Structures are given as structure tokens and as C-alpha cells.
Amino acid sequence: MAERRFGIGYALAPKKQQSFIQESLVGLARSRGIDLVRIDTERSLADQGPFDCVMHKLYGNDWKRQLEEFGVKNPNAVIIDSPEAIERLHNRISMLQVVSELKIEHETDTFGIPKQIVIYDKETLFDRQAWEGLKFPVIAKPLVADGSAKSHKMALVFNHDGLDNLKPPIVLQEFVNHGGVIFKVYVVGEHVKCVKRKSLPDVSEEEKLGSLDGLLSFSQISNLANNERTDDKYYKMMQLDDTEMPPQSFITDIARGLRQGLKLNLFNFDVIRDARFGNRYLIIDINYFPGYAKMPGYETVLTDFFCDIKQKKEKDGAENTGLDSYEVLSCDDEVRKIVSSDGDDGGDLNVEEENPIQV
């Protein structure tokens, strides 16, 4: 009997499609029984398919409605992930709330989020009371994190003079010196991978006092142009090679906790190590369906994940339990933990020793 294929429809913006849907991924998935099929976003989703699974990164009410309609028409299809769960990441306050709810103990290391306040209007921006407990320098981030260029525009603010240029609603977050290196933790279902990237450099005591403009604007610092990031000298200068990785088990526990709390399968989070302590980690950002193609071996990780879904669906089918309509792939189903084809249970953190950036 011919092997049953598993069809995954993907609905992505053109830029995302270009970076994510590479032949190396499509080919590997195909060799393992998974067909990746483009969803035509100009046509109704419900009229396309059949798909066993849909993965997506699109915004707006129309798309939400289309997913609902598709779910009703295809009750056995798996949708990765639910728009409601994704929306939680579109606000920089609700995004990090889940971190504060995590209960994870570790012998030597602790984690949390930086001190932050949300400012909705100019008046509150200059109200000293609202600032209680928060000290300069701070990073001003747009409250909304909806993937627009605007939502990535940030400013490092050194003193009160720098506040004039800010446009609420914003989040003001304590700037924490962290050695200029950020850890990006990619989560793909049960699979977790941590890599190092360039971040904002530390701010010295002199800079804190002497900044003339009071404000420094920037955007997507960890996502600089190719040539800047592939330059050997640049890495040496940034001491990325020398930077110690966070403990694997610690990061994996946080990743699992976030996956469960957020009810999401495809996301990454940015972590910095507080230079004041050395064993305190701060989560500063969580992104839905990030640039996985920059993760080394992304084809294998993603294909393993697709196979996890396929196997889970087949198992559920065999047990005749049925899948809930409009199902979000369960995040806490440890009993069903699937062993991937290379014998690795996929749950361990793969820490890259080398800086793995590849664009």
C-alpha cells in the first residue's frame, strides 16, 4: 500500500515565504512524507486543500475569520497556532506576563523580566510618580508588536530630555547591561535551540551622565545586514565567541513553560544575561514564527516537528479519539512525547557553540 502523505498548507507574507520555504526544507519534508503546499492568500482558504494541517503568519480579522471557517469545514485539520494565542504576542505587556507566571526552580540561575511600565499618553510620560522604581537609561518600545516596521522602532533614553521625542503608547523598560550579546531561543513544538546574536552594547557610567541628546534611536539591532554579521573581525570585536551560553536545562525548562503558558508551538524569545549578577536572565521579547531559516539545521528541526504532528494525528486517529475541531496542537501532552526519527527525543536544547548566523 502506498504511504499516506501528510499535507501542510502554509500561509505566509511574501518575505517570510521567501526566507522560510527553501528547497532544502521542502525536499527534506517531502522525503519524510510531508508535502508543504502554498496557500493562495488571494483566494478563500476554505476552498483550498485538502490540508491535514495549516501553519500561518498573517494578520487581520479577515484571516481569522477564514481560519475559523476552514476549521469548521475541516474539523480534523490541525491549525498551528490559534490566532487568539498569537495575538497575545502583539502587545509587549501581555507578551511578557506569561514569564512572570512561570514556576521554574534552578540551582544556580534565576530569570524574570526587566522592570517596565506602560505609558498611554504624554502627560503620564512626564509624571514622575508613574516612574516609581524605574531608572534611566530606559528603552522605549512601541506597545504594539504587530510585525510592522514601526513596531520595531526603539529608543534608548538616557534622561528626561530624551522623553520629548517619544510617542505613546509605549513601554518603558529598564535598560540592562548584558555584555552586548543576546540569546535567541527558538521553539518549534518540543524542539528548542539557543543561539547567540549581537545586541546593544553596554552603557557606561559616563555615557549615562553625559549623553547630549538624551536619546538614541535604533531598530532591529539583532537583525543587521549580512556583511556586518558575517565579518570575522566583527564577531571577535563583539566577543560573541567567548560568551558563555546559558545552562541548557534551564533554557529548555523556560521554553517548555512558555510553550505551555502561551499555547503556542512556533515562537522564539530573546534573553539577556544581567551583567550585574551573571546568573540572572531576563526575557525581553517573544516573537511569533520568527526567522527560523537563520537557525542552523532549521530544515531538520522543522521537519521533525512536522513529523511529530503527523504521528500525533495518526495515533489519535488509530485510537479513534478524534481531534477537536480547530485544534491547537497540545502543548502539555508529555505522555505522547514523540521520539523523532534520529532517536533524539527532540526535547533537549541544542546549544550552538559557534555563532550560527546565516542569512
Ligand X SMILES: Nc1ncnc2c1ncn2[C@@H]1O[C@H](COP(=O)(O)OP(=O)(O)O)[C@@H](O)[C@H]1O
Ligand Y SMILES: O=P(O)(O)O[C@@H]1[C@@H](OP(=O)(O)O)[C@H](OP(=O)(O)O)[C@H](O)[C@H](OP(=O)(O)O)[C@H]1OP(=O)(O)O
- Annotate the chain with three-state secondary structure: CCCCCEEEEEEECHHHHHHHCCHHHHHHHHHCCEEEEECCCCCCHHHCCCCCEEEEECCCHHHHHHHHHHHHHCCCCEEECCHHHHHHHHECCHHHHHHHHCCCCCCCCEEECCCEEEECCHHHHCCHHHHCCCCCCEEEEECECCCCCHHHEEEEECCHHHHHHCCCCEEEEECCCCCCEEEEEEEECCEEEEEEEECCCCCCHHHHHHCCCCEEEEECHHHCCHHHHHCHHHHHHHCCCCCCCCCHHHHHHHHHHHHHHHCCCEEEEEEEECCCCCCEEEEEEEEECCCHHHCCCHHHHHHHHHHHHHHHHHHHHHCCCCCCCCECCCCCCHHHCCCCCCCCCCCCEEECCCCCCCC
Report whether 183 contacts 245 (CB < 8 A). Answer: yes
Residue 177 is assigned to a ligand binding site: yes
| Candidate list 92, 141, 184, 193; residue touching ligand Y; CB under 6 A | 184
Residue 315 is assigned to a ligand binding site: no
Residue 285 or 316 having the CB closest to Mg ion:
285
| Candidate list 12, 95, 96, 139; residue touching ligand X; CB under 6 A | 139
* Shortest CB 152 distance to ligand Y, Å: 6
17 is an interface residue for ligand Y by CB under 6 A? no
223 is an interface residue for ligand Y by CB under 6 A? yes
175 is an interface residue for ligand X by CB under 6 A? yes
Residue 182 is assigned to a ligand binding site: yes
| Candidate list 142, 147, 179, 346; residue touching ligand Y; CB under 6 A | 147
* Shortest CB 92 distance to ligand X, Å: 7
- The residue at minimum Cβ distance from ligand Y is 291
Amino acid at 243: T
| Candidate list 144, 221, 245, 328; residue touching ligand X; CB under 6 A | 221
Residue 197 is assigned to a ligand binding site: no
* Total residues found in the chain within this entry: 359
From the list ligand X, ligand Y, Mg ion, none, partner contacted by residue 124 (C-beta under 5 to 8 A by kind): none
Residue 287 is assigned to a ligand binding site: yes
Residue 86 is assigned to a ligand binding site: no
193 is an interface residue for ligand Y by CB under 6 A? no
Residue 285 is assigned to a ligand binding site: yes
81 is an interface residue for ligand Y by CB under 6 A? no
199 is an interface residue for ligand X by CB under 6 A? yes
| Candidate list 109, 253, 285, 308; residue touching ligand Y; CB under 6 A | 285
Residue 291 is assigned to a ligand binding site: yes
Q: What is the dihedral of CA 104, 110, 111, 114, to 10 degrees?
A: 150
Report whether 73 contacts 98 (CB < 8 A). Answer: no
List the interface residues with Mg ion, window 256-285 (CB under 5 A).
270, 285
Site string for ligand Y, 293-332 (x = CB under 6 A): -x--------------------------------------
220 is an interface residue for ligand X by CB under 6 A? yes
Residues in the site for Mg ion, rule: CB under 5 A?
Answer: 270, 285, 287
Kindly list the residues in this chain that would bind ligand X in the complex (CB under 6 A).
114, 139, 141, 145, 152, 154, 173-176, 178, 182, 199-200, 220-222, 270, 272, 284-285
Q: Which residues bind ligand Y (CB under 6 A)?
A: 15-16, 19, 57, 147, 152, 184, 220, 222-223, 268, 270, 285, 287, 289-291, 294
